[in-house]
Structure 1
């Protein structure tokens, strides 16, 4: 008899497992349908010995000291500030758009934040109410930069026009008037020194945690005795798609190893124009690994496959709310993580959600009688 069956060994499931096992002393079984722990953050050495991310680049960044200190129990860190270039009109320019981007594209020599803001205001379109991702960009940078950087990229990434997507999608990408070319501005920007998979294995390395990979929840839920469930998979799948499928955007990856030490000047180059892929990643920039060869990944968004990104549209949110009502009524089951709560979370946000969920669980169980608590730990 397990106290907890945890479905999914990514950030949400692994954090919940570690907390429930180490703090509450519960007996925990973690399962994952894939053959490994770590979820989409899984990294491994490929056939050439290059450390790479199987499911595309994962860069850790957070403003939360609490989240950073929690994960620091399981890994040392390598300082890393992520920089991305975009291949636009045959040139490589910084993205998010900054002063350098504008100067290069338009042959200008703007020198101050004020000059850049004046340039952008002259091109911005008046939008009475910001509702869509198109509105966000047009109101900030105008039509030309929208077409160069956002429209085609968004269509590739989401399979929809920016005007069909909630404003939250493009709001995630700032526009800067200065020369800051970092993709993120968070206080803590690091990569796990030995990779994400090592971090996950340390997190789950407790005597009262058992792990089974290559196992689907549908196959095991009636065969393993357990008291409670932490579910981190797609919420619609848990309820057998009774209201229909929640739409997700999926990804395909083409991994290529090259006989060169480096292929591109930064870890990620975005391709927001005519190419069929959205970005190319070179992992040695992320990991700091020294190796005579390099591995790159071409990323192709698609409609079918493993779910990666919930699609933020009003009708999808409404459908999720119906599943959320079922989840709230489900006894002894907690839904945690991006897929289980149909939200586009960063990694640190998933960790924060899992830690907050554990606190609520711990507080609720702490209110039970001593006899009940003994049963919990039996």
Structure 2
């Protein structure tokens, strides 16, 4: 018998397993994938640590969370500064004075504010009824048309005029020349990739990979006093109230015979006609890699690795990435949560178990909170 069966070896499940093991609890961790780490899994290709499931930049203002993850790896000082490409034009993200100067030729914050306000006034929208109207009422026509509309429609698989306005509650507009995407105090990427962090967390704990909980449900459930389930909440209950909606992703990774493909780790493609939303060039996540001198190891000269990220409709069998937290889905989730709250043996956690999109620092905080609540 185990004290805990932990379904999923991603960040949430691995932190809980680590904390339980530290307290003398016996854990079994299972994962349907053939590797540990969930979506933060990294693999080394040509000496470059490749983020297999999209870019993962750790950022937080929570000192406790930052110190917690730093016990498992040394983090570099990578700063996320994505670039948006609209046709042949390049813009800095998030929207800041560099963006406004490129778009309108303005130089001072007062000029930029005036231009944005003029376009907001021209839109004349007082009560936004959808995402398109919400964006126009926040930043005006030019920024919306070039940097928001196409990207958002690809990401969500719907036209902006059909999406609810609450998806964009606010848009980060900075009237400074600052390309740092995050406002958080701490930011970086682990030297050597994320997989090593999970390996250290799960050291000394039994792990079974390529193990589907639902194919061995009765057998696995009987093995433990409690279950920590980080999969899809609706799947756990056999979709008895219907399916919750998600968006999925598809990745195409290529090894290219060139030193430097795009000059930046992340380039967003904002026009609708380009099917992918962004291209990630992984070597730029690690300081020095642009020169072929990666901290991660020996990088093959004249080589780089890129990943194109394609949004996709979710259906059963696909990997769910983004919960669709509109009113209909939130109401449906509330029904499932009402059942989940009555469970004495099962605890649901993570973005799928809680049907909420979390950044990594949120996952760390939630997992530690659960461990404290469960075990003190």
TM over 0.5: yes
Structure 2 equivalent of residue 284 of structure 1: 283
What is the 5 A alignment of 1:90-109? 90-106=88-104, 108=105
Counterpart contact for 2:252–2:307, Cα < 8 Å: yes
Residue 60 in structure 1 maps to residue 58 in structure 2: yes
Alpha-carbon deviation of 1:129? Answer: 4.1
Distance 1:162 1:345, change over 3 A: farther
1:308 aligns with 2:321: yes
**1:221 matched residue in structure 2:** 217
Q: 1:202 to 1:226 in 2, by over 3 A?
A: same
Seen in structure 2, the aligned counterparts of structure 1 residues 131 and 234 have a Cα distance that, compared at 3 Å, is farther
Query: How many angstroms does 1:164 deviate by?
Result: 3.8
Conserved? CA contact 1:9–1:39, under 8 Å: yes
The residue that corresponds to 1:339 in the other structure is 352
The 5 Å alignment of 1:153-164 reads 153-164=151-162
Matched, 1:299 2:309: yes
Partner of 1:12: 12
1:301/1:179 CA distance change after superposition, 3 Å = same
Q: Distance in 2 between matches of 1:68 and 1:131?
A: 39
Mapped partners of 2:24, 2:196: distance in 1: 23
Determine the C-alpha separation between the residues in 1 that align with 2:330 and 2:183.
29
Q: Which residue pairs with 1:212 in the alignment?
A: 208
Q: Deviation of residue 136 (structure 1)?
A: 3.7
SS of the residue corresponding to residue 189 of structure 2 reads: strand
Note the C-alpha offset of 1:162. 3.1
Structure 2 equivalent of residue 369 of structure 1: none
Which residues of 2 match residues 1-378 of structure 1 at below 5 A? 1-22=1-22, 24-46=23-45, 48-106=46-104, 108=105, 110-124=106-120, 125-129=123-127, 132-167=130-165, 169-171=167-169, 173-205=171-203, 207=204, 209-224=205-220, 225-273=223-271, 274-288=273-287, 289=289, 290=293, 291=299, 292=301, 293-304=303-314, 305-363=318-376
Question: Displacement, 1:95?
Answer: 1.7
Q: Which of 140-149 and 125-134 deviates more?
A: 125-134
Contact 1:165 1:313 in 2 (8 A): no
Shift of 1:203: 1.3
Q: In the comparison of the two structures, how many residue pairs are matched?
A: 357
Name stretches of at least 5 consecutive residues in structure 1 with no aligned partner. Answer: 364-378
1:374 is matched with which residue? none
Question: In the TM superposition, what whole-angstrom CA distance separates every residue of 1:298-335 from its partner, at most 9, and x where no partner exists?
Answer: 11101132100001211011111111111101121111
Distance (whole Å) between structure 2 residues aligned to residue 10 and residue 98 of structure 1: 34
Q: Does the 8 Å contact 1:68/1:188 carry over to 2?
A: yes
